[in-house]
Structure 1
Amino acid sequence: MQGDLNEIDIPSILQLIEWGQRTGQLLVTTHNSCPCQKFSAEVNRHHHCFSCKPQQYWFIFFVNGQIIYCQQGDGSLSRIDDYLRHYRVKLQLKDLKLASLDSVNVAEYSYLWELLERNLIQPKVAREILYGLVCETLFDLLSLHAGCFSFHHGPALTPQLTTWEISPLIKKIVKQLQNWQQMYPHIQSPNQVPVISEEVQFHSGLPVATINKLTYWADGKTSLRQLARCLNRDVYTVAKAIYPYVLQGWLQLVYSNTCNFDPYRENSEVEVKSKVRILSIQEAHSSSETIKSILQPQGYEVLTLTNPLESLSLIFQLKPDMIFCDMAMPELDGYEICAMLRQSTAFRLLPIILLSDRDRFLDRVKAKMVGTTDYLVKPLRDTELLTLIETYLK
């Protein structure tokens, strides 16, 4: 079973696996060229070497239609180390050769079992850590609307500590995502880092105990996701707790170049990104401000045009590397603008992304017919937006 996320969404894929009581591994990737054909050969090689490395990918391991474990990318041991801070386990096994388990296991999963075998954590703690890893991975996956997937039948991941039914997890995560959107655009991504913004008002308007806690965690280095792990809470609960302070202006959320959990921010790429010019053509300022707030901290130059008719003449002067264009605008809509630009040799290959408030099959077909590069449904999510830009501007 393999395909594109434009054809079937993640919840539907997971439910098919659950109903079919399947055992094996699911690969989901945001890479432009789907590595599904290589997946079968790579699945028995620790998942560490892809000849065509995707920009972001995830694995989910199943047994009889239930989830055993979820992993992002190659599996960072730091995810478990964040949880160990909550349980006050200081010993780290990063340099230990994790070869005691079967070859199908991945390093992160093996790391957890090493902790168990050495009695550094109890089975209850291990189950809680696994549950947190599964939930945070599904939180990211259920937010995806673009990418490809491949399910590979194979032996179950061993040994197994516990399993989880898929339907209750989907129901829980979907509800979290719906609530998460209500905090947008003040809080956009689990990878954002809280920092104290209004020092004077901050200290005069809060109790000392609250100030001490927020000062400790809002250090400009720890992301919301890392906070959630260290506190053994889901990321929505953590974001909801700090949301009032963000609204008051006491805290602000930024993207940190040192954050290990953001795959789109590598210091070696900052100089290249600063030369990239993104043009946003939208009547409403809200979406343009969202695009700017997400892309400018990454070093992209973001320009906004609100008059569709004037935009056509200015585009030739601005020479953007990529265009985001709203579908619904007066005088000229996104379809018409894209069709006109495609008639010019200068913009025949330029990435043009159409933005829409609705996700309808006919709209997507029409967008393809006029030459749109891709189709993005609002509200815009930072991970989806950055992945799309990295894909088409690489």
Structure 2
Amino acid sequence: MSNRTEQYPQSLAHYLRVKKLQIFSVLKRSDFSGQLVWSDPEGHKWTLFFNQGQVIYGSGGVHPIRQWYRQAQSRLPEPALSYQVLQNSLAIAPRSSWLDSWDYDLMHNWLSQGQLSPQALQEISAHVVADILFDVVQARDTQYKLIRQPALGSSEMPLYVDTPTLLLAVTELWNKWLEVGLEAYSPNLAPVIQHPEPIRAQVSPGVYASLMQLLDGQRSLRDLAAKLGQDVLNLTQALQPYLKAGWITLVEVADFPALNGPDPPIASHQRPLKIACVDDSPMVCKAMGQVIRAAGYDFLPITEGAKAIPTLLAQKPDLVFLDLVMPDTNGYEICSSLRKTSRFKDVPIVILSGNDGLVDQVRARLLGATDFLSKPMEPIVILSVIRKHLIHTRT
């Protein structure tokens, strides 16, 4: 095992960071098998898996689940990857010999069952590795170590990533990222609109509506680029004028919940966490209930707004999803009333809205809302929001 620390003077850092990638030629010449692990002072860790000098796969970083999910979702025959299906698939996937990577095991199981083509697996692997390499290059100070392991046998030969092409692409992306002044912007951050009126005055109504729907702080720049079928450089550059003006800001967004392990166990004297959904649409409550129950939580659906407050006070859920617009009441009134009670003073309240206007968000937060989620909601985003706010909650 070897350790190296790479640190450059501040004035040269953004020019010299691509030199970190020179290690690939060394590992290629030495037929290295094992793991190349980078880390930074913030505690992030990126791992690349090698076999005889060639890259097989990578994992880790700021959003290891997100970076895999967005690539797999766009290349699997069935794009709707539900959290429960993924967990069930992972539970039966055979473990590889030394690649400590649940997503690699899962994809190879799909490959063996004919659910994923070799080309799709290579594309997913290449894009995941590309994201990792860009993040490593962008990180100011990194340390790496090499963990040697036996080469894979002939019976388990993997599909390799086209490393030379990938290194060239990452280097070109980083150079362009610098050229247009994006060095300070991480593609792992999520854009959210702070001042909508100046933006409304500059774009068409259709573009404005799309921006308000998409820029809700729940999707990273990479997530948005994948969703829109755009290059992350072009997307970030398009938002750059609004970022500089302060009309849009970039915020940290949590990773999706892990698939390769259950939630921390609940002691025998503790009850499962209870999640409530107040929405006049039975379909919304049913869909959310399926996701939440499958993840091991108790679920409380409330489809009559007039009964929301007495029901919530009686049932005492640990988190509340609250629809903003209902026939007989609205989320503002319910949220404000709940915050006036001692029981719901600190309970997370997540507002649901199909409008997604900033005025609604600001008003909801002023009345005590914890978070704001746009409709329609992806199952894995629902779980991500739950775990974001309940990660330390145990009764």
TM-score using structure 1 length: 0.51
Query: Which ranges in structure 2 are unaligned for 5 or more consecutive residues?
Result: 9-18, 257-395
Q: Distance in 2 between matches of 1:172 and 1:91?
A: 29
> Any residues of structure 2 matched to 1:341-360 within 5 Å, and which?
none
Q: Distance in 1 between matches of 2:214 and 2:63?
A: 25
Aligned CA distance change for structure 1 residues 137 and 213 (closer, same or farther; 3 Å): same
Q: Distance in 2 between matches of 1:253 and 1:187?
A: 12
Identity over aligned pairs, percent: 23
Q: Distance in 2 between matches of 1:201 and 1:218?
A: 15
Q: 2:95 maps to what in 1?
A: 101
Q: Distance in 2 between matches of 1:3 and 1:186?
A: 27
Aligned CA distance change for structure 1 residues 129 and 63 (closer, same or farther; 3 Å): same
Q: Distance in 1 between matches of 2:227 and 2:246?
A: 24
Q: Distance in 1 between matches of 2:119 and 2:55?
A: 17
Q: Distance in 1 between matches of 2:242 and 2:62?
A: 35
> Any residues of structure 2 matched to 1:195-210 within 5 Å, and which?
195-210=192-207
> Any residues of structure 2 matched to 1:140-179 within 5 Å, and which?
140-156=135-151, 159=156, 162-179=159-176
Q: 1:60 maps to what in 2?
A: 48
Q: Distance in 1 between matches of 2:173 and 2:136?
A: 13
Which residue identity lines up with residue 80 of structure 2 in the other structure?
K
Aligned length: 237
Residue 226 of structure 1 pairs with residue 223 of structure 2: yes
Q: Deviations over 1:291-336 (max 9, x none)?
A: xxxxxxxxxxxxxxxxxxxxxxxxxxxxxxxxxxxxxxxxxxxxxx
Q: Deviations over 1:348-389 (max 9, x none)?
A: xxxxxxxxxxxxxxxxxxxxxxxxxxxxxxxxxxxxxxxxxx
**Contact map agreement 2:125 2:161 (CA 8 A) in 1:** no
Aligned CA distance change for structure 1 residues 77 and 183 (closer, same or farther; 3 Å): same
Alpha-carbon shift at residue 229 of structure 1 (Å): 4.2
Q: Distance in 2 between matches of 1:174 and 1:235?
A: 15
1:142 is paired with a residue of what secondary structure?
helix
Q: Distance in 2 between matches of 1:192 and 1:82?
A: 15
Q: 1:189 maps to what in 2?
A: 186
> Any residues of structure 2 matched to 1:303-322 within 5 Å, and which?
none
Residue 239 of structure 1 pairs with residue 249 of structure 2: no
Aligned CA distance change for structure 1 residues 77 and 152 (closer, same or farther; 3 Å): same
1:30 to 40, 52, 57: 40
Alpha-carbon shift at residue 101 of structure 1 (Å): 3.3
Q: Deviations over 1:117-162 (max 9, x none)?
A: 4444433332222111010000011223433222233234685553
Aligned CA distance change for structure 1 residues 131 and 166 (closer, same or farther; 3 Å): closer
Aligned CA distance change for structure 1 residues 166 and 126 (closer, same or farther; 3 Å): closer
**Contact map agreement 1:6 1:145 (CA 8 A) in 2:** no
> Any residues of structure 2 matched to 1:53-92 within 5 Å, and which?
55-72=43-60, 76-87=64-75, 89-92=79-82
Query: Which ranges in structure 1 are unaligned for 5 or more consecutive residues?
Result: 32-53, 262-394
RMSD after superposition: 3.3
**Contact map agreement 1:23 1:155 (CA 8 A) in 2:** yes
**Contact map agreement 1:61 1:69 (CA 8 A) in 2:** yes
1:152 is paired with a residue of what secondary structure?
strand
Alpha-carbon shift at residue 73 of structure 1 (Å): 5.5
2:26 to 6, 16, 39: 16
Alpha-carbon shift at residue 209 of structure 1 (Å): 3.7
TM-score using structure 2 length: 0.51
**Contact map agreement 2:37 2:144 (CA 8 A) in 1:** yes
Q: Distance in 1 between matches of 2:118 and 2:74?
A: 16
